[in-house]
Structures are given as structure tokens and as C-alpha cells.
Structure 1
Amino acid sequence: MTPPSENVPPSFGSSSGVLIKDVEISTDVSARIFLPSSAPTNACTTQKLHVVLFIHGGGFCMRSAFSEDNTRFGCHITADANAIVVSVEYGLFPARPIPACYDDSWAALEWVASHCKGNGPEPWINDYGDLSRIFVSGNSAGGTISHTLLAKVRSMGLPGDAKVEGMILIHSYFGEDDKMWMFMCPTNLGPQDPRMKPAVEDLARIACGRVLVVLAEKDGLYGAGKTYVNELIKSEWEGKVDIMVNKEKDHCFNIYDHSDPEALVIRQRITSFIHNPS
């Protein structure tokens, strides 16, 4: 496994045509926000930007939104998709056992949605974000958390007219009877806890119209990802699911090696998914 990269300051984005700032959402949750550097000069236009809530991976116990590799990924998606990216820094085991990561990510999504009337706490989102076109995305553990958020949106709702348009899952950490996950979650509901193994009823109520699932052929989670897609299609969910498979690639290779040609292909597919609803 590739070791976590060092954390980098917001100034890391200065050479990539992306503006970055770090914000505090609550005492427990913070985020790194990415904005295309062209956005302030185009402020007079009425065209606002998609907003992507990104939830990083790391087995629920490591890595950071502020790491170099996740910051680089945020810069790429921001520049390629011309979108605002909000990357969540959530609580990790053992300092904060599961479900802290789920709760913190939900708090971040609610915080993003709170800008829907243009009077939220973050000017970049108020001024440039279109909160009717939110995308929730995550890799590995972050993909699992993303699914849980979208099931929760259906029952809990979001502030005002904020809306999640799509979900992007990259090498998601789905499983059943995962003893390590249950160890990290002292309040687990057993081997089929729906936060770990998506329940049929949760699949049917995913609160968006489109889902993109990215899989890597050599990833140990490849089979679980295929099962997720098949069960989503068979459920009563009425949206559209797209699947992308990278041949001969392993888990989260696109985060660890941004220069890999297939990592570029993933970013291009994400950009196309965001901007082309058909």
C-alpha cells in the first residue's frame, strides 16, 4: 500500500490555476475548498459552478483532505470540471470511532447546502456555487460514506432548494462481515450494517438521478463494486447508473499516481459525468 503523503498548505494550488482555502465547519469538522482561479474574474456572469463534495479514503482511520495527493486530486477536478470542490476533513479512528466519519461528512453536506440562498458562511460558495447542482463523491471509504449520505438525504432532506444531482463512487469500500470495520464502529449493527453493506431499501432511495461507479480490475473491492451496481439497477431506484472499469489497475491508483494515463481518463470521465446529464 502506498503510504499517505504529507499535508500541504493551501498555497499548493497557486501553480495549478486553482485557489484554495481551508475553513472550519464545526469544532469537529473542517474542509479544504478549491475554486477555479478564473471564477473571480467572471463574477459578472450569471453562470454559476457545480459544487462537488469530496470525501477522501483511508480505511476510516488515516489520510487527510489536506494531504498532497488529495489536494492534487481536488485541484485537477476543480480545473478540469470548472467546479468548486469541497474536500471534507472528518474524524478518524481511533481518536473518533465510526460513525464520526459519517456524521462529520453529513455535517459538511448540510453546511454546503446551507449556502443555497446565497447567505451561507463561505463567500466562495455564496458567490460562485450552484447549490441545485451538488455532486457527492468519494474514493474507498469516502465512497462508502457518500452512498450513506445520499440515502440519508432522501429521509432527512437538505436546506432550502439545495439538490444533489449526482454521486461519483471511486473504488468504494463496500463489504459484509468486515470485522475491522465493526471493530472501528463499537455501535455497529452486525455483519450487514447498512453503512458497510448497502441495504436494498437504501439503494432504492438514493437521492440523486445519476450515479457514476469507477472500478479497478485488480482492486480487492472490485467484486463488491460490481455487486453494488447490479443491486442498484435491480432496486426501485429510478436513476441512471454508469460504470467505468480501469483494466489492470489496483485500488485508488488514481490518487496515488496522478500522472498515470488511466488517472487522467478517470478525471475526464468525472468531468463528462458532471457536465453531461444525458
Structure 2
Amino acid sequence: MSSNTNSSESEWNYSESDIAKKFLFFNVLKDGRIHVFTPTSKMVPPSFGSTFGVLIKDVEISKDVSVRVFLPSSVLTSACTTQKLPVVLFIHGGGFCMRSAFSEDYTRFGSHITADANVIVVSVEYGLFPARPLPACYDDSWAALEWVASHSKGTGPEPWLNDYGDLSRIFVSGNSAGGTMSHTLLAKVGSIGLPEGAKIEGMILLHPYFGEGDKMWMFMCPTNLGPRDPRMKPAVEDLARIACGRVLVVLAEKDFLYGVGKLYADELIKSGWNGKVEVMENKEKEHCFNINDHTDPEASVIRQRIVSFIHNRS
């Protein structure tokens, strides 16, 4: 399978008869090529964060995985830096085949959360389908979480996390497909744990993308386990062992994924998991509206709810 990452749209002049399969985010052509309907998404450099009072650096943690790390610039000028900051691992959305941690929209979102909540954000740049079929993005996100957790004793490879990060207060968050991967990470931590000193305090799911028998997802994941693959249809046993004490699920009333997001929260409550679930709903709003339009007043409301959740304010 070949990716369209570096292809111009002119290369995708094909007719209806050339299409073998149609999915929500891509067409599969009879010649084996896959045309992803990649949205225009401007990439921005780390200097973009200066507008928000945030320092940004990009770190390659393996040949396949990079992260964009956000740090409040105030920590470098503060007279008191003994209070370490919570760390938010963020996994962007895009249907497992689009978007980037280095794009303007996700860099802006990471900058806002860093500045507003006074936290360190680590945003994951994971492998996208079709260049790397699923479950590569799940594996990459796990690698990023392990990398973050490796700083729990202050001896990890990234000075910002060693010097300023409180690794006993990790939050895992993602929107859309990133929310799906966030759940899978927390279930895996509940099964095998993290290094001593690293602890996940909470999970924040924004318009999560779950589903049973999702044909597009199963096509992207050739090694899928069938319609109820627990990476897309959370299993009761995985819900029961989610490795944190608090979960925030953010829903949008007109989101086509509203129902599965609400069902996730309901099933988590009924699973026997011993934690607290909070649900926030934005009326008259659609999927990922807060990322697509950061100026929407309700986008600001979501950010403030995230800040309150991180700092455990009622």
C-alpha cells in the first residue's frame, strides 16, 4: 500500500470505475493505491509557541515516533521552580490516517493547554495509514507513553521532563482517533503497569472514535480481531482496569460519534472500574469543532474544563 503523503492532488485524477472500495477518509483504487482525503493543514515550527508564552521543542524518540514538547516559559523565569508540573500526553485525531502533532491547529491546542493549565504537554507524532497500517499508531503512542514514564526518576533523556515534570501526575488525552488510542493505553497500563514513580492520574477523551464492526478500521488494521476488536469496541475487562482514578469525556451534540462516546462513559461506569467519570456536552456542536475553530467560545469552555479537570477542581 502506498501513501499519498507527498503526492499532489493532480496525481489523483481517477474515475469512479477506478475505485475498488470507498471509505469515509479514503478511496482504495483497483491498482492498489490508496487516496487519503488529506485536509489542508499548515505545519508550524516550534517558535510558534512564543505567541502563547510557551516553549516548544521537537524530539525524535525512535525512528518511527517523534513528540512535540510544550513547556510554560514562566518556569524558566520563576523564582520558585520547586513545584513540578503535571504532564499531559496528547494524541491527535485524524481517523488514523491524517493530521499531525506539528500542524498549526494541534500546536495551538497544545500551547493553549500548556499555558492555561500550567502543565507540560507531550504531543505524539505517530505513524499514519497507509504508510504504516494499524496497529502502528497504537504502538507508537505506547512508545511515547513509555518514553514519558522513563523520566519518573529524573534521569530520562529529556531535560524538561526531568527538571519540571511531575511524573506521578500524568494525564493521557486524545481527540477522535486519539481518544480511541488513549483508552487502549490506559487499559494496557492497567494490565502491565508503568515504571516505579510514574502514575496516570486521569484520562481526557475529546469526541472519541469508538465503534463495533467499523469496516474502515478493520481494513486499516489487517491483523484485526474481528468486529469486536477491543481496540475499537472497548471490552468490559479493559474498562474495568483503566489505570487512572478520573476520566473526562467531552461530547458534542451533533457529532456523528456522540452515541459511541456517551456509551463509552456509561459502560465505564457499569464495568466495575473504581473511579470517577465526568461527562461534558456542547450543544449544537459537531465533531472536533474545538480543534477546527479555536475562536469558538465553546472551544474556550472546553479548554477551561480541561484545566479544572487536571487540577481537580469541582
**TM-score (norm. length: structure 2):** 0.87
CA contact (8 A) 2:75 2:81 kept: no
Q: Give the whole-Å Cα distance in 1 for the aligned partners of 2:153 and 2:65.
A: 22
Q: Which has the larger radius of gyration?
A: 2
Deviations 1:3-48, CA, capped at 9 Å, x for gaps: 3421110011111100000001111100000000101123743210
Between the aligned residues of both structures, percent identity stands at 83
Give the one of 144, 159, 165 matched to 1:123: 159
Q: What residue number does 2:230 align with?
A: 194
Matched to 1:204, the amino acid is A
CA contact (8 A) 1:4 1:67 kept: no
Q: Give the whole-Å Cα distance in 2 for the aligned partners of 1:4 and 1:129.
A: 34
**Structure 1 gaps, min length 5:** none
| 1:93-132 mapped onto 2 (5 Å cutoff) | 93-132=129-168
Alignment of 1:274 onto 2:283: no
Q: Give the whole-Å Cα distance in 2 for the aligned partners of 1:58 and 1:150.
A: 20
Deviations 1:55-104, CA, capped at 9 Å, x for gaps: 00000001000000000000000000000000000010000000000000
Q: Give the whole-Å Cα distance in 1 for the aligned partners of 2:285 and 2:38.
A: 14
Alignment of 1:46 onto 2:95: no
* SS of equivalent residue, structure 1 residue 39: helix
> Which gives a bigger RCO, structure 1 or 2 (Cα 8 Å, sep 6+)?
1
Alignment of 1:24 onto 2:60: yes
* SS of equivalent residue, structure 2 residue 41: coil
Q: What residue number does 1:229 align with?
A: 265
**TM-score (norm. length: structure 1):** 0.98
Considering only aligned residues, what root-mean-square deviation do their CA atoms show, in Å? 1.2
Give the one of 163, 166, 169 matched to 2:199: 163
Q: Give the whole-Å Cα distance in 2 for the aligned partners of 1:39 and 1:211.
A: 28
CA contact (8 A) 2:38 2:98 kept: no
Q: Give the whole-Å Cα distance in 2 for the aligned partners of 1:258 and 1:35.
A: 20
Matched to 1:268, the amino acid is Q
Q: Give the whole-Å Cα distance in 2 for the aligned partners of 1:24 and 1:231.
A: 37
Q: What residue number does 2:109 align with?
A: 73
CA contact (8 A) 1:35 1:84 kept: yes
| CA 1:104–1:43: 2 relative to 1, 3 Å | farther
Q: Give the whole-Å Cα distance in 2 for the aligned partners of 1:121 and 1:45.
A: 20
Give the one of 267, 273, 276 matched to 1:240: 276
Shift of 1:277: 5.9
Matched to 2:195, the amino acid is P
Shift of 1:159: 1.4
Corresponding pairs, count:
278
